[in-house]
A = this chain, B = another copy of it.
Amino acid sequence: MLVVKKFGGTSVADKERIFNVARRCVEEYKKGNGVVVVLSAMGKMTDVLIDQAKDINPNPPKRAMDMLLVTGEQTSVALMEMAMDVLGVPAISLTAFQVAMHTTSVYSNARLKRIDTERIRHELEQKKIVIVTGFQGVNKYDDYTTLGRGGSDTTAVALAAALHADKCEIYTDVDGVYTADPRIVPQARKLNEISYDEMLDLATLGAGVLHNRSVEMAKKYGVELVVRSSLNTNEGTVVKEVTKVERMLVSGVAADRNATRISLIGLEDRPGVAFKLFDIIAKANINVDMILQSIGRDNKKDISFTVDENTADAALKVIEENEKSLRYEKVSVKKNVAKISVVGAGMMSNPGVAAKMFECLFNAGINIRMISTSEIRVTVLVDENDCDRAVQSVHDGFGLED
């Protein structure tokens, strides 16, 4: 069996943790399995490098930034090779150049295009544990690139796909995917299995365990993902194409606190208004999440949308700069809102899920400020103060602790 294991920055933050990871990999190796390990930069190293760069150049060229950042993962893999040597197991560390990991050309946010597997296969045949730098790649100019957020997870899934690995284990600081954040809902239950689509919705909604980019890739190539803890040997959650006959109605409840709602009131009700608004915002490189447009009335309509609170001021700025061309009557900003979502493939054939969720919130006396739904998800916007109670009440209402 061939297993790809990915460990994040906290899992390799110091000597003790590096050896913890090394021992886990050696255990797998000693079962006779092929092991490919993908590592992130140690602990806060990436942040330290960014600070170092910004001290030199507040707006560092992205190419140089990637050249600098990739030293983080290279440090991790070199030290891991040394740790495995102490444990007496042959291991070899490889950078994106050595593998090679081909990406698109864009720096700081490249996408993986192709992975050469020859070197890795050769090293696996030599019975070595292969340790690969996550997060990084090489573009057609022969320059280092980095993959942006969720990059190391994506490296791991892409390697698993390219090597036709039997599974891809993503090690994290939680035991797996839960029906809700256990810090909010103590009765939250770990899921043994979840489908790619459900995981995607949870990831997008800020459940934080996996980045949706890696889940998308796993779904596309049918890579079996396992989310598990680097701190214990519990089984974790398997993410795959679940084909149970009786699906659970709802798999979990997710919350994302860092939202701000921006509403443009009294826009003209004519074609192209929404396009113009979101084009301006996209060009400012601001991600928009929920979007809601009121039904037009008296030739006027309102558009509300949520953005990450970090980008709220920037979004407001570009809107005000374009006041004349957007022609709105008023813009209102509501900070400190939270998105609460229920996710479950079962709800496709169960129209009562949304109503049930609204009932739970009503019973808890929580005001709903915005609603958005997809086939397997219902999301509502509530005041941030109500967030924890909202999650708890929905978790209780759907009986997820059982």
A interface residue numbers (CB < 8 A to B): 15, 18-19, 49, 52-53, 55-57, 60-61, 63-65, 67-68, 70-71, 74-75, 77-79, 81-83, 85-86, 92-93, 95, 97-98, 119, 142-143
Q: Are B98 and A82 in contact (CB under 8 A)?
A: no
Smallest Cβ-Cβ distance to A97: which chain B residue: B97
Q: Write out the residue numbers on chain B whose beta carbons fall within 8 Å of the beta carbon of A19.
A: 56
Q: Are B98 and A56 in contact (CB under 8 A)?
A: no
Q: Are B98 and A83 in contact (CB under 8 A)?
A: no
The interface centre, meaning the residue of A56, A61, A83, A119 with most chain B CB atoms within 10 A of its CB, is A56
- A232 CA to B56 CA in the complex, in Å? 22
Q: What is the minimal beta-carbon distance from A28 to any residue of chain B, in angstroms?
A: 20
- A77 CA to B79 CA in the complex, in Å? 22
Contact status of A78 and B93, CB under 8 A, knowing A57-B86, A83-B57, A142-B119: no
Q: Are A85 and B98 in contact (CB under 8 A)?
A: no
Q: Write out the residue numbers on chain B whose beta carbons fall within 8 Å of the beta carbon of A68.
A: 74-75, 78-79, 82
Q: Are A82 and B97 in contact (CB under 8 A)?
A: no
- Complex A-B, nearest 9 residue pairs according to Cβ-Cβ distance, in ascending order: A68-B78, A64-B81, A71-B71, A57-B82, A67-B78, A60-B82, A97-B97, A56-B82, A64-B82
- A49 CA to B75 CA in the complex, in Å? 9
Contact of A77 among B65, B67, B85 (CB under 8 A): B67
Smallest Cβ-Cβ distance to A67: which chain B residue: B78
Q: List 8 A-B contacts (CB under 8 A).
A: A53-B82, A56-B82, A60-B85, A64-B79, A64-B93, A67-B78, A71-B74, A119-B142
Q: What is the minimal beta-carbon distance from A84 to any residue of chain B, in angstroms?
A: 9
Q: What is the minimal beta-carbon distance from A295 to any residue of chain B, in angstroms?
A: 51
- A15 CA to B68 CA in the complex, in Å? 15
- A18 CA to B60 CA in the complex, in Å? 15
- A83 CA to B52 CA in the complex, in Å? 12
Smallest Cβ-Cβ distance to A18: which chain B residue: B56
- A122 CA to B277 CA in the complex, in Å? 43
Q: Write out the residue numbers on chain B whose beta carbons fall within 8 Å of the beta carbon of A65.
A: 78, 82
Q: Write out the residue numbers on chain B whose beta carbons fall within 8 Å of the beta carbon of A70.
A: 74
Q: Write out the residue numbers on chain B whose beta carbons fall within 8 Å of the beta carbon of A67.
A: 74, 77-78, 81, 93, 95
Q: Write out the residue numbers on chain B whose beta carbons fall within 8 Å of the beta carbon of A77.
A: 67
- A74 CA to B79 CA in the complex, in Å? 17
Q: Are A63 and B79 in contact (CB under 8 A)?
A: no
Q: Write out the residue numbers on chain B whose beta carbons fall within 8 Å of the beta carbon of A49.
A: 75
